[in-house]
A and B are shown apart, each in its own frame.
Chain A
Amino acid sequence: MAKDLDKKLAVGQGLDRYASAVGLIGALLSTLGFILAFVLAAPVNGASVDGVEMIGGQMVSNQLLFSQKIFYFHMPAAVTSMVALAFTAWFGIRFLTTRDARYDLRAKLATEIALLFIIMTMFSGEMWERFEWGVWWTWEPRLTTYFILMLLVFAYFILRTAVDEPERRATYASVFGIITFIDVPICFMITRLIPSSVHPVVFRTDSGLSPDMLVPLLLSMFGMFCIAFALYRLRLRTETMAQEVDAIKREIDE
């Protein structure tokens, strides 16, 4: 039982051997996705204009939304951050059931990755907002719930630094990671719950996305998954090595 777990949580074989390669492929795929977003996807049918709408003080029915290209970066990054948070919650559950510190480390790293992609999402979203809606900030439902998600991730790290005792820190962080995950489905579903939202519902059977938009989107999303995975494995290896160094140092001290 314990041996199985050791094998499962081992670092440095299989998964890690290809981590850098996967990261590179991810980078290529998402770059390809962005390029295709410019050359393949039609520039007109902007996902955020549906009929006649008031944008930036003028009536718009069919504007060429060049900044809509941000969407191919923005949305995959957002989805990746949510997937990373799902892993935080999953590793949290695993920690609480096994009390194995290695799961706590994984939860922490998954949250770090989530934070990285959340910042990317917020940054790209901010550009979009400024150019498309003409405002710096608006308390729009999707935007707000995602902002709250970012605050929760900040809170997760603040909580970690505020507890000294390692096992207690791991327990609290796991519990908080699990509770935080509640906001993810709320954030994901909010465009369905409050349909007046300016964020379109992308995943649906009668999706408004034509294939020429869907292909770049999926490419860059898959690419970002790869990048997130590679970053996670590399971070995991560094952290594990750092811990080993610490253990050796302690042994020498004694």
Chain B
Amino acid sequence: MAEQCDKDLAKVSDADAIVLDNVSKVFGDRHAVDGLSLALPQGAFLSIFGPNGAGKTTLLRMLATLSRPTEGTISVLGIDLKEHPDEVREHIGLISHNSMLYADLSAEQNLMLTARLYGIADPRERVDQMLDAVELSHRRLDVVRTFSRGMTQRLSIARAMLHDPEVVFLDEPYSGLDPHAVEIFDQLIDQVRQNRTFVMVSHDLSKGFAACTHALVMARGRKVAFEGKDNIDFEAFASLYRDTVGMGVA
């Protein structure tokens, strides 16, 4: 299986990490996402911007296999998401403002649960390693309920990175974090960045722009702009963003 994985990776290493082809999410006459197409190279960091109701979260949920696209195809690392969701799930991780941790279980129990569900070889060793990485080894036996917001966020990163995903989704990761926790969060993301592909939805324009290599602006489910960061200067981008947000809110 491990060899199989390596082979899969080798096969797509020079291809795009995420390819969307005319993707729509429709219910009734409401188009949450409407005919979106784009290709994101491997190792890129995509930030998605847009007003409330632009379809950012819907798009992220589709990418994370939590919601099925109505039309169009999505492929992640060359795997068709509609046809083989379980195979895609092996390669993706999600860090959200929800910690996805059981408040009444200890840090270690939470990570062991996830490791066992994914079927990680030698789960105990991997859990130790991740707890060290997020500097929570000394609190491993404590119940998550007693953790501060920042510690919980760190543990949730450890949880998401446990199965070593090649593509990582960030859903409003900064909400509810104090400035210090944000700093630590950014450092941690830098650490795990390596050659992974990241997709982030965030309301924080400057933060989202600082981290990204690619930017996608959405309004009313459609693509307004999709550019590599090198082609955009922040001022022009910020004014474009204000325009689209203004448009969407009206």
Binding between chains A and B: yes
A17 at the interface (CB under 8 A from B): no
B180 at the interface (CB under 8 A from A): no
Complex Cα–Cα for A102 and B28 (A): 7
* B52 smallest CB distance to A (angstroms): 14
Q: Is the CB of A99 within 8 A of B70?
A: yes
Q: Is the CB of B220 within 8 A of A101?
A: no
* B195 smallest CB distance to A (angstroms): 36
Q: Is the CB of B220 within 8 A of A247?
A: no
Contacts of A206 in B (CB 8 A): none
Complex Cα–Cα for A166 and B58 (A): 14
What is the interface of chain B mostly: helix, strand, loop, or mixed?
loop
Q: Is the CB of B220 within 8 A of A254?
A: yes
The interface size of chain A toward B, counting residues with CB under 8 Å, comes to: 9
Complex Cα–Cα for A254 and B31 (A): 13
**A99-B70, A254-B220 known; A166 and B27 CB under 8 Å?**
yes
Complex Cα–Cα for A170 and B29 (A): 14
Q: Is the CB of B29 within 8 A of A247?
A: yes
Contacts of B220 in A (CB 8 A): 254
Q: Is the CB of B70 within 8 A of A101?
A: no
Contacts of A166 in B (CB 8 A): 27-28, 30
Contacts of A170 in B (CB 8 A): 27
A50 at the interface (CB under 8 A from B): no
Q: Which residue of B lies closest to A168 (CB)?
A: B27
A–B complex contacts, Cβ < 8 Å, 6 sampled: A166-B28, A166-B30, A243-B28, A247-B29, A254-B220, A254-B250
Spell out B's residues near A (CB within 8 Å).
27-30, 68, 70, 220, 250
Other A-B pairs, 14, CB within 8 Å; known A166-B28, A243-B28: A99-B27, A99-B68, A99-B70, A101-B27, A101-B28, A102-B28, A166-B27, A166-B30, A167-B27, A170-B27, A243-B29, A247-B29, A254-B220, A254-B250
